[in-house]
Amino acid sequence: MIEIFYRKDGQIMVSQSETDFSAIPYDDIIWIDLFAPSGEEKRAVEHRLGTVIQNRAQAEEIEISSRFYETEKAIFANTSFLIPGPDEYNEETVSFILTDDILTTLRECPLKSFTDLQRRMLAFPKMYDSGHVAFLSILEQRIDLDADMVELVSKEITQYNKKVSLGEDISEEFLVDLNQLQDNTMLIRENIVDKQRVISSIIKSKKYPVEYHSKLNVLLKDISSLINHTNFSFERLEYLQNTVLGIISLDQNKIMKVFTLVSLMLMPPTLIASFFGMNVRFGWFGSAGWSWIIALVLMALSTVVIFAVFKKRNMF
């Protein structure tokens, strides 16, 4: 699918056919959005812009040198957009190509940032006079969405912290959810840092207009604050995990203490029972019929003594 946003009579028009390129003046084109494009659509855009559009494998290249590069005619920038899911986040690679004053985007799935920009361009055409403005608008909208995700993670951490503070049962599912939240936080941070690298590279580029550098610097400051926030959230998660592990260790120690106490309490009775269980007749008790009663009394007395000693030392 292709959507061509261009100026006409003070308004912004939209065309969804690559065959309309011949009827649209080059200088009036603002944004070309390629959403899971066909081969014909890509070739038409390449012919119109006079540059080669990278394929998906090149766009997903992780080396920093491939995330941003320049040619004589264009600036290529690749970054990842996070898509929130029910349990985890998914990454979608988006390519930006800046040729003169035209922005070309390449993506494979619907994104809220692009949908919002399309609505704003049609509602406020005077605000978007070039592809550079559209590019900055997408980045600004995306950073706002990243900030919302960081805030959502912070609220989830607070909820987990309250559960621990209220002494709710910490199950295996709780630990799995906590670990997944930590993975999501790391993914958000990596995604934000990726945008920071791309914007920093664009500022250093001599092809990008200087008049937009101030806006890019503002975006960098917003990204820096988000990185600090994600670092703080990650520290809170580590502290919460340590607290949970400490509580589990205390519960295990209590259980082991009970088993140890029970074992110690049973040791003297076991010794006495073993002693009197020998096939030997004890004449010093007088009548042999009282032997088992005396053995029981001694066993009970030894148990009470051990229990009293542990109780006095607050070990039970």
Q: Report the domain count for the chain.
A: 2
| Tokens read off for 286 | 């007088």
pLDDT at 290 over 70: no
Residue closest to 102 by CA, chosen among 156, 143, 51: 51
The per-residue pLDDT for range 23-81, each reduced to its tens digit, is 888 888 899 999 988 888 888 888 888 888 776 666 555 555 567 888 888 888 888 88
The pLDDT of residue 154? 87
Distance CA 125, CA 12 (A): 6
The residue whose two tokens read 């406020």 is 124
The pLDDT of residue 219? 92
| Residues 95 and 185 placed together within one structural domain of the fold | yes
DSSP per residue, 271-287: HHHHHHTSS---GGGSS
pLDDT at 136 over 60: yes
Most confident of 14-23, 44-53, 100-109: 100-109
Please report, as a single letter, which amino acid is at residue 10: G
| Residues 159 and 267 placed together within one structural domain of the fold | no
Please identify, among 218, 248, 278, the residue that sits at the C-terminal boundary of a domain: 248
| Residues 125 and 146 placed together within one structural domain of the fold | yes
| Residues 259 and 243 placed together within one structural domain of the fold | no
Q: Average pLDDT over the chain, rounded to whole?
A: 81
Please identify, among 248, 276, 304, the residue that sits at the C-terminal boundary of a domain: 248
Distance CA 17, CA 32 (A): 11
pTM for the predicted model, two decimal places: 0.74
| Residues 243 and 260 placed together within one structural domain of the fold | no
pLDDT at 269 over 80: no
Question: CB of 99 within 8 A of CB of 49?
Answer: yes
pLDDT at 280 over 80: no
The DSSP letter of residue 8 is E
| Residues 36 and 80 placed together within one structural domain of the fold | yes
Please identify, among 195, 225, 248, the residue that sits at the C-terminal boundary of a domain: 248
Largest CA distance in the chain: 124
The per-residue pLDDT for range 215-229, each reduced to its tens digit, is 999 999 999 999 999
| Residues 278 and 175 placed together within one structural domain of the fold | no
The Cβ-side half-sphere exposure at 275, using a 13 Å CA radius, reads 13
pLDDT at 170 over 60: yes
Give me the domain span that covers residue 275. Answer: 254-312
| Residues 95 and 169 placed together within one structural domain of the fold | yes
| Residues 111 and 89 placed together within one structural domain of the fold | yes
Burial of 51 (0-12, 13-18, 19+ CB in 10 A): middle
| Residues 297 and 242 placed together within one structural domain of the fold | no
Pairing of strands 102-107, 29-35: parallel
How large is the average pLDDT for residues 103-107? Answer: 89
How large is the average pLDDT for residues 8-25? Answer: 85
Alpha carbon distances (Å) from 87 to 83, 153, 156, 182, 225: 11, 12, 12, 12, 25
| Residues 179 and 303 placed together within one structural domain of the fold | no
| Residues 179 and 283 placed together within one structural domain of the fold | no
Task: Give me the percent of the chain exceeding a pLDDT of 70.
Answer: 87
CB atoms within 10 A of CB 200: 13
Question: CB of 89 within 8 A of CB of 184?
Answer: yes
The pLDDT of residue 287? 53
Alpha carbon distances (Å) from 29 to 10, 161, 203: 13, 52, 24
Instruction: Please report, for the domain that includes residue 212, its CATH number.
Output: 3.30.460.20
